[in-house]
């Protein structure tokens, strides 16, 4: 006879107990081991089993082993830390490998309050948009609302996303790029798409936007999508237009959840901003947000915080970020270097004056001049490369390279551009002068060494950003001579993204006993994509970027959430002797800095670069004393005036944007209490640390405290535990951080850390199975006298199962679990949670004689059935009602949020039962 089992029922099959899950189809059972994880789920047909599948109960066995107070407390903590399917409104909290800051929960709450979450998260660089999007994803996965997802991002961010999802959220996603797609598709059935075979994907936008792939992806795309760097999908450039067509097609499905991420949502470009907002709701593209009712509607979908918003006022998240100290470092050019720069400028101006007749010829001469100027100002090595190279047919790439607008289809270009000028004796003479300077002392490099020396003495680990490949190699070689004891590497565009990532990883200390200071020299290929805050804490702008947002991106690699140093320093180098540096500072960087101080935001250059070019040329001509008539002939004054107006417009637009769209509606007090409930129930990092300390000591391998980290010598553990930990790549001495931000080479010790999870699972197994780790003596019953109570008290470690029904578009039944410690006096529950935990953690005042201990335990077991039917059942029902109220309160918004009902599964599992007597009973 085949029995019907409902989700949540306990069954016995194949010699062990299981929990029945929602069945994938009629006639089969989906079962999870009672103490197992999702990876242990089996699907079986009861008809094919050798032994019948029977209903089961998880009763406290008659021969349960007795234990002492310290081991009983360890069991209670282990039980709490093993659970991964919390019943509260934040179901994902049990799966996180980090402690989110309160402000990072705001987008999650916003998403939960929407029937179909669509958000634009526009927080500043370094605040943690990846974490905020990941929290939403993980929460919806754990609610059963997301079965598949795709993260769409620029190609250089794919591996970073894969790593973040795995390390922080425990989600294994596959990268889909031009290099991996064919391998993933190999061997799939013809009728199955890559996205059906791999439900969790991180996809390169530039791979998937191609017309031949775009339509197929639109058909197979999951209904949850995260788009990183979303602002790069709404411009008029051909690549951006393709991206926009892809995303707008995806957004047409009203059921698709979309989370868009960008640090630069507006930047004064109303048309681009409207296109971005249209991906959330097509009606937003034409709304007048000067009207309050429209702003209120948008505020449900749009969150934008600056760093200053979070480190002042209500949030007070000061320690979430390091302090940032910025300074300028001026240096003098030698006579030879200054003379060379001036000779190149004069040569270029002669070319410009001869090209003054034709508009296209003049503009090309301007671009060639500025491109060459950038190389000359960078280093003699870059100048030699530029002067020797010829530009052939790539002149249309000059302008974007000058202003660090590297294409949508590639990361930052660091090859030196060639000149557009015909070879002549004067140009060849400049090449010889540049080559001669390469072999002479470089005043700019000497200034860098002077700037770095005090930083190095303070223990800093700086990143030096250069514009060109030749400069980076020149700087690396010079620094290796100046600081021979330091680890110094260079990363440039000649390395693939994987090679860059590996080179950064190789600079991490292998042995904390042998800490080595490090310097990284990098071009702007590293200004996006790879986060450097774990290894570096200072940034030097060796070459001025001609786009102010590039400076922000460089510093954002180091100055961001998770930086363990309390102070980050940044230095901007320039020479007052250089007409090139002077022009860039006057026309671009000083203006952008004024706007940043006024608005808190770094604005990019105006999209139309003609006026910028004219203003730079005019500024350099003025500094070189070029006759005024040439400036007038070239109409450069117009560019200067237009640039002044553009900067004023950018500042006013940014102020208006911030006034209209600042997200201040949600306060910390609306977010923190709900999260604190979860921490209390599941165990905070402090609870995890206390448990690991006690467990390692119980296994005979106490933790070692070393400065601000803990060392767990896992190779000294029992062989079975060593094998389990080795599966998680934990061997030798594991370095654990006690608080965030975690120092380099460590991981925060949380409930999900493999060491915590493995120890907790092992201890629970040892209590449930007498043959598992039998030497530990982790029993399930006990009795002892203690000062914690004034009368006989029974403590029960309970595992409670709940059925959560989400009444949404597609109704879902979820199973959840909680571990609860309750204290019972005179047949009534008098304490639960932390209060009861305090009692079990109070040391016993003495040992009871075995006969007395066994008498107290026997009486407690005798009374247990009536307690399970009476006060414990009532407690479990009340807990279900509390959970339902928590869900309702968190998700209540417009009335469209799905309703969640919570039903308790009775009786709860009694994992442990302990008797406490007052004093010296």
pLDDT score recorded for residue 110: 85
Q: Which of these ranges, 2-6, 271-275, 357-361, has the smallest mean pLDDT? A: 357-361
| 867 vs 114: which has the higher pLDDT | 867
Q: Which of these ranges, 412-426, 724-738, 780-794, has the smallest mean pLDDT? A: 412-426
Helix (H, G, I), strand (E, B) or coil at 131: helix
Name the DSSP class of 861. H
pLDDT, mean of residues 76-81: 91
Phi, psi at 903, each rounded to 5°: -125, 130
Phi, psi at 421, each rounded to 5°: -90, 145
Identify whether the C-beta of residue 105 lies closer than 8 Å to the C-beta of residue 675: yes
Helix (H, G, I), strand (E, B) or coil at 33: strand
The token duo for 136 is 């939403």
Q: How many CB atoms lie within 10 A of CB 376?
A: 26
Bridge partners (DSSP) of residue 916 are 784, 793
Residue pLDDT, tens place only, 433-452? 989 998 899 999 999 999 99
Going by their DSSP bridges, the two strands 733-737 and 709-713 should be labelled as antiparallel
pLDDT, mean of residues 885-909: 75
pLDDT, mean of residues 91-102: 83
pLDDT score recorded for residue 921: 45
Name the DSSP class of 786. E
pLDDT score recorded for residue 3: 67
At residue 98 the predicted structure's pLDDT band, cuts being 50, 70 and 90, is confident
pLDDT score recorded for residue 636: 60
pLDDT score recorded for residue 226: 97
pLDDT score recorded for residue 266: 63
Q: How far apart are CA 684 and CA 92, in angstroms?
A: 14
At residue 655 the predicted structure's pLDDT band, cuts being 50, 70 and 90, is low
pLDDT score recorded for residue 656: 66
pLDDT score recorded for residue 1: 47
Phi, psi at 489, each rounded to 5°: -130, 160
pLDDT score recorded for residue 409: 46
Percent of the chain whose predicted confidence (pLDDT) is above 90:
30
Q: Tell me how far apart the 2 most distant CA atoms of the chain are, in Å.
A: 110
Q: How far apart are CA 899 and CA 892, in angstroms?
A: 9
pLDDT score recorded for residue 228: 93
Bridge partners (DSSP) of residue 266 are none
| 101 vs 903: which has the higher pLDDT | 903
Q: Which of these ranges, 188-202, 446-460, 471-485, 627-641, has the smallest mean pLDDT? A: 627-641
Q: Please list, in sequence order, all residues whose beta carbon lies within 8 angstroms of the beta carbon of residue 231, skipping any fewer than 6 positions away.
A: 262, 263, 264, 265, 267, 272, 276
Q: How far apart are CA 474 and CA 828, in angstroms?
A: 77
Q: Is the pLDDT of residue 654 over 80?
A: no
pLDDT score recorded for residue 299: 82
Q: Which of these ranges, 224-228, 559-563, 721-725, has the smallest mean pLDDT? A: 559-563
Residue pLDDT, tens place only, 9-24? 888 888 888 888 888 8
At residue 885 the predicted structure's pLDDT band, cuts being 50, 70 and 90, is confident
Q: How many CB atoms lie within 10 A of CB 391?
A: 18
pLDDT score recorded for residue 464: 97
Bridge partners (DSSP) of residue 571 are 327, 540
pLDDT score recorded for residue 648: 76
Q: Which of these ranges, 89-93, 164-168, 634-638, has the smallest mean pLDDT? A: 634-638
The token duo for 456 is 């190095």
Q: Is the pLDDT of residue 912 over 50?
A: yes
The token duo for 797 is 């470690």
Residue pLDDT, tens place only, 503-515? 888 888 765 556 7
Residue 615 belongs to what H/E stretch? Answer: helix 610-624
pLDDT score recorded for residue 891: 63
Percent of the chain whose predicted confidence (pLDDT) is above 70:
85
pLDDT, mean of residues 283-309: 79
What is the distance of C-alpha 664 from the center of its chain?
Answer: 23
At residue 836 the predicted structure's pLDDT band, cuts being 50, 70 and 90, is very high
**Torsion from C-alpha of 907, 913, 915, 916, nearest 10 degrees:** -100
pLDDT, mean of residues 127-136: 92
**Torsion from C-alpha of 342, 345, 346, 352, nearest 10 degrees:** -170
pLDDT score recorded for residue 450: 95
Mean pLDDT, rounded, of the chain: 83
pLDDT, mean of residues 795-818: 85
Residue 81 belongs to what H/E stretch? Answer: helix 69-82
Q: Is the pLDDT of residue 356 over 80?
A: no
pTM here? 0.79
Name the DSSP class of 686. H
At residue 500 the predicted structure's pLDDT band, cuts being 50, 70 and 90, is confident
Q: How far apart are CA 72 and CA 69, in angstroms?
A: 5
Among 829, 770, 761, residue whose Cα is nearest residue 795:
829
Residue pLDDT, tens place only, 199-219? 999 999 988 988 888 888 988
Name the DSSP class of 390. B
CA distances from 217 to 116, 221, 250, 698, 701 (A): 21, 5, 9, 53, 52
pLDDT score recorded for residue 893: 44
Residue pLDDT, tens place only, 472-496? 999 999 999 999 999 999 999 888 8
At residue 25 the predicted structure's pLDDT band, cuts being 50, 70 and 90, is confident
Helix (H, G, I), strand (E, B) or coil at 268: coil
Q: Which of these ranges, 296-300, 667-671, 756-760, has the smallest mean pLDDT? A: 667-671
pLDDT, mean of residues 897-902: 78
Q: How far apart are CA 247 and CA 224, in angstroms?
A: 12
pLDDT score recorded for residue 773: 67
pLDDT, mean of residues 880-909: 78
Q: Which of these ranges, 170-184, 500-514, 697-711, 716-730, has the smallest mean pLDDT? A: 500-514
Positive or negative CA dihedral for 436, 439, 440, 444?
Answer: positive
Q: Is the pLDDT of residue 394 over 60?
A: no
pLDDT score recorded for residue 718: 83
């Amino acid at each position: 006879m085949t029995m019907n089992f409902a989700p949540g029922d306990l069954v016995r099959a194949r010699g062990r107990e299981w929990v029945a899950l929602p069945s994938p189809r009629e006639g089969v059972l989906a079962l999870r081991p009672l103490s197992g994880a999702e990876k242990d789920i089996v699907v079986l047909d009861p008809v094919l089993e050798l032994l019948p599948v029977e209903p089961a109960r998880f009763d406290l066995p008659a021969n349960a082993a007795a234990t002492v107070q310290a081991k009983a407390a360890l069991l209670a903590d282990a039980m709490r830390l093993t659970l991964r399917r919390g019943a509260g409104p934040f179901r994902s909290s049990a799966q996180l490998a980090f402690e989110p800051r309160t402000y990072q929960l705001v987008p999650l709450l916003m998403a939960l309050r929407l029937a179909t979450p669509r958000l634009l998260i526009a927080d500043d660089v370094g605040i943690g948009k990846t974490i905020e999007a990941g929290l939403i994803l993980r929460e919806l996965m754990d609610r059963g609302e997301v079965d598949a997802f795709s993260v769409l991002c620029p190609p250089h961010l794919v591996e970073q996303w894969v790593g973040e999802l795995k390390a922080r959220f425990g989600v294994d996603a596959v990268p889909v790029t031009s290099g991996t797609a064919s391998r993933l598709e190999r061997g799939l059935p013809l009728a199955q798409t890559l996205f059906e075979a791999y439900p969790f994907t991180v996809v390169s936008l530039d791979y998937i936007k191609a017309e031949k792939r775009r339509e197929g992806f639109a058909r197979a795309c999951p209904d949850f999508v995260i788009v990183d760097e979303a602002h790069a999908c709404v411009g008029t450039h051909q690549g951006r237009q393709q991206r926009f067509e892809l995303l707008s097609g995806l957004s047409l499905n009203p059921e698709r959840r979309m989370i868009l991420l960008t640090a630069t949502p507006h930047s004064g470009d109303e048309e681009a901003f409207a296109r971005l907002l249209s991906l959330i709701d097509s009606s937003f593209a034409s709304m007048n947000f000067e009207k309050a009712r429209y702003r209120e509607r948008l505020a449900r979908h749009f969150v934008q915080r600056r760093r200053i918003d979070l480190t002042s006022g209500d949030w007070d998240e000061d320690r979430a970020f390091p302090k940032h100290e910025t300074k300028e470092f001026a240096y003098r050019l030698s006579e030879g270097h200054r003379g060379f720069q001036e000779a190149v400028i004069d040569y270029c101006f002669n070319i410009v004056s001869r090209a003054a007749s034709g508009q296209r010829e003049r503009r090309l001469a301007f671009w060639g001049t500025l491109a060459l100027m950038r190389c000359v100002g960078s280093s003699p090595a870059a100048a030699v490369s530029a002067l020797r190279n010829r530009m052939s047919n790539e002149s249309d790439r000059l302008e974007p390279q000058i202003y660090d607008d590297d294409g949508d289809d590639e990361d930052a270009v660091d090859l030196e551009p060639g000149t557009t000028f015909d070879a002549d004796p004067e140009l060849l003479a400049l090449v010889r002068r540049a080559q001669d300077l390469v072999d002479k002392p470089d005043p700019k490099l000497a200034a860098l060494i002077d700037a770095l020396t005090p930083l190095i003495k303070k223990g800093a680990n700086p990143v030096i950003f250069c514009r060109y490949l030749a400069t980076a190699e020149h700087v690396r070689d010079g620094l290796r001579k100046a600081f021979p004891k330091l680890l110094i590497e260079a990363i440039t565009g000649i390395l693939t993204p994987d090679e860059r990532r590996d080179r950064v990883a190789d600079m991490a200390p292998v042995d904390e006993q042998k800490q080595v200071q490090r310097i990284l020299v990098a071009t702007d290929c590293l200004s996006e994509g790879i986060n450097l805050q774990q290894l570096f804490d200072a940034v030097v702008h060796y070459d001025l970027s001609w786009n102010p947002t590039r400076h922000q991106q460089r510093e954002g690699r180091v100055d961001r959430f998770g930086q363990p140093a309390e102070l980050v320093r940044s230095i901007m180098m320039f020479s007052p002797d250089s007409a090139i540096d002077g022009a860039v500072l006057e026309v671009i960087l000083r203006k952008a800095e004024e706007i940043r101080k006024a608005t808190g935001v770094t604005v990019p250059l105006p999209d139309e670069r003609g006026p910028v070019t004219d203003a730079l040329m005019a500024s350099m001509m003025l500094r070189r004393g070029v006759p005024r008539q040439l400036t007038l002939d070239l109409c450069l004054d117009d560019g200067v005036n237009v640039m002044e107006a553009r900067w004023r417009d950018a500042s006013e637009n940014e102020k208006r944007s911030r006034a209209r769209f600042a997200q201040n509606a949600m306060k910390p007090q609306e977010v923190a209490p709900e999260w604190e409930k979860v921490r209390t129930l599941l165990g905070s990092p402090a609870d995890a640390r206390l448990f690991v300390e006690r467990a390692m000591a119980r296994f005979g391998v106490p933790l070692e405290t070393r400065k601000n980290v803990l060392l767990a010598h896992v190779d000294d553990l029992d062989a079975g535990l060593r094998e389990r930990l080795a599966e998680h790549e934990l061997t030798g001495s594991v370095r654990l951080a006690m608080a965030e931000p975690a120092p380099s080479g460590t991981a925060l010790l949380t409930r999900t850390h493999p060491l915590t999870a493995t120890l907790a699972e092992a201890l629970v197994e040892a209590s449930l199975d007498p043959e598992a780790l039998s030497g530990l003596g982790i029993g399930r019953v006990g009795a002892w006298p203690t000062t914690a109570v004034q009368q006989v008290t029974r403590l029960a470690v309970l595992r409670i199962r709940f059925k959560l029904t989400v009444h949404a578009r597609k109704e879902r039944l979820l199973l959840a679990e909680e571990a609860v410690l309750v204290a019972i006096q005179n047949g009534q529950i008098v304490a639960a949670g932390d209060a009861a935990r305090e009692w079990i953690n109070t040391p016993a005042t003495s040992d009871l004689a075995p006969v007395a201990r066994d008498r107290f335990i026997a009486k407690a077991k005798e009374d247990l059935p009536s307690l399970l039917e009476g006060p414990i059942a009532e407690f479990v029902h009340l807990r279900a009602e509390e959970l339902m109220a928590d869900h309702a309160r968190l998700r209540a918004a417009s009335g469209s949020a799905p309703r969640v009902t919570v039903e308790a599964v009775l009786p709860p599992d009694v994992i442990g039962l302990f008797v406490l007597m007052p004093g010296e009973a």
